[in-house]
Amino acid sequence: MAPREIHFTFGPKEALKKLIQAHPDRKLLLFQAVTDKERYMLFDYSGKETIFSGGLSYQVVRQVEFDKDWDGFFEFRYLTLDEDEQKVFRAIMDKWVRKDGRPFGLNETVILQSEKKNFEFLMINVWEAEADFVDWTNLKDNELQQFGNAGNDQALVVEYKRAK
């Protein structure tokens, strides 16, 4: 059963590892930012109420699931979508359900909506490899390039890998 909520928090690696040890009943994943080796994020997809005091919580809006291992190269894409943009975005996601309608190397997509701001979305894409993500990002016909974040023309994209 897919979770209805996903929670995140950020902090030092050792502090986040202590949270993992203190909550073995949770589905917790530790991530390290690709561009900032000192930035860590803890991801709780247990579907239970948050254990994080200063974290972020999102509602799962849609999940296009191809691989349940949560393994690969992670793209966290933050989007601000008005009502019309949400319709276009949903149509793009409808195409991604078909294998021939989604980008090459994409294993899984989870669409989340902020619990506090209903126009704020987070798209988590799990790629086979970083090269697949880079190739797709540089395509001129990349349909997601039309969506921005918080008044900016482009989405905020943060790349992560699973931390050990």
Q: What are phi and psi of 120, to 5 degrees?
A: -100, 125
Q: What is the dihedral of CA 4, 164, 158, 1, to 10 degrees?
A: -20
pLDDT score at 38: 92
Among 90, 89, 79, which residue's Cα sits nearest to residue 156? 79
Which residue pairs from 20-26 have beta carbons closer than 8 angstroms and sit at least 24 positions apart in sequence?
Answer: 23/51, 26/51
Among 20, 7, 116, 133, which residue's Cα sits nearest to residue 74? 133
User: What pTM does this model have?
Assistant: 0.89
pLDDT at residue 141 greater than cutoff 70: yes
Domains of the chain: 5-162 (3.30.70.100)
* Contact yes or no for 155/143 (Cβ under 8 A): no
Half-sphere exposure of 86 (CA within 13 A, CB side): 14
pLDDT digits (tens, 9 = 90+) for 4-29: 888 999 999 999 999 999 999 998 99
pLDDT at residue 66 greater than cutoff 60: no
63: part of which helix (H) or strand (E)? strand 56-65
Among 18, 10, 114, 21, which residue's Cα sits nearest to residue 55? 10
Three-state DSSP string of 2-47: CCCEEEEEEECHHHHHHHHHHCCCCCEEEEEECCCCCCEEEEECCC
For residue 106 the two structure tokens come to 């994409």
pLDDT digits (tens, 9 = 90+) for 28-51: 999 999 999 899 999 998 888 899
Among 137, 143, 141, which residue's Cα sits nearest to residue 157? 137
pLDDT at residue 71 greater than cutoff 80: no
Alpha helices (H) in the chain, listed in sequence order: 13-22, 83-96, 130-137
